[in-house]
Amino acid sequence: MRKKEKAALIMDVLNRLYPDVPIPLEHSDAYTLLVAVVLSAQCTDARVNTVTPALFELAGTPEEMAKIPVETIREIIRPCGLSSNKSKAISNLSKILAEKYGGEVPPVMEELEKLPGVGHKTASVVVSQAFGQNAFPIDTHIHRLMTRWGLTSGKNVVQTEKDAKKIFPVESWNRLHLQIIYFGREYCPARGHDPLSCPICSQL
């Protein structure tokens, strides 16, 4: 089966299983989404969602967050892990947004990637989910499934992103990256996976 045929089959299965794909990180605007994505590094979305209500009640805008001591932020987000680095990043990016961007999150990949703690994947998630721009954020789960499905031979997420953008229609990217994440959790885990019972692996 050629890659384009695999892609069509995969999209058909995912659209059937996940016609509606809610954004897993709870947020109210681009800023709270950005902070939530920063917190999600090496942490589950579910755990992030238990931490952010208290954080955003204390400070829900860049201007408010910039005034909060880093130690206070660190204590609140401690359950997410890497709290020392993440608290500094959240504090510093909030100050930059407040001072340089008038408290607004820039809808531009290159500008987002300049912010502390914001890498390419985080920026991709924000422009995709907050601003509706076509992007294909690749995390380790999507990289794993793209490799398992024979859609990429990339050794890293950078190559996998390039391959994904070649294979799948651009208008599907924003929806598809969420669908793949949900599918991986429910049907195609890293361990204990049964290919014969998997709605996609069983057909490839």
Active site residues: 121, 139
What span, in angstroms and rounded, lies between the C-alpha atoms of 58 and 70?
A: 13
Element containing residue 65 per DSSP (H, E) = helix 62-66
What span, in angstroms and rounded, lies between the C-alpha atoms of 153 and 171?
A: 23
For the chain, give me the number of helices (H) and strands (E)?
11, 0
Angle between helices 3-17 and 173-186 (to 10 degrees): 70
What span, in angstroms and rounded, lies between the C-alpha atoms of 134 and 116?
A: 23
Instruction: Report whether 195 contacts 201 (CB < 8 A).
Output: yes
CA dihedral 22, 136, 33, 115 (to 10 degrees): 180
User: CA torsion sign, 30 to 34 to 39 to 44?
Assistant: positive
Q: Which regions of 74-175 does DSSP assign to beta strands (E)?
A: none
- Give the 3-state secondary structure percentages of the chain, helix then strand then coil, rounded to 5: 65, 0, 35
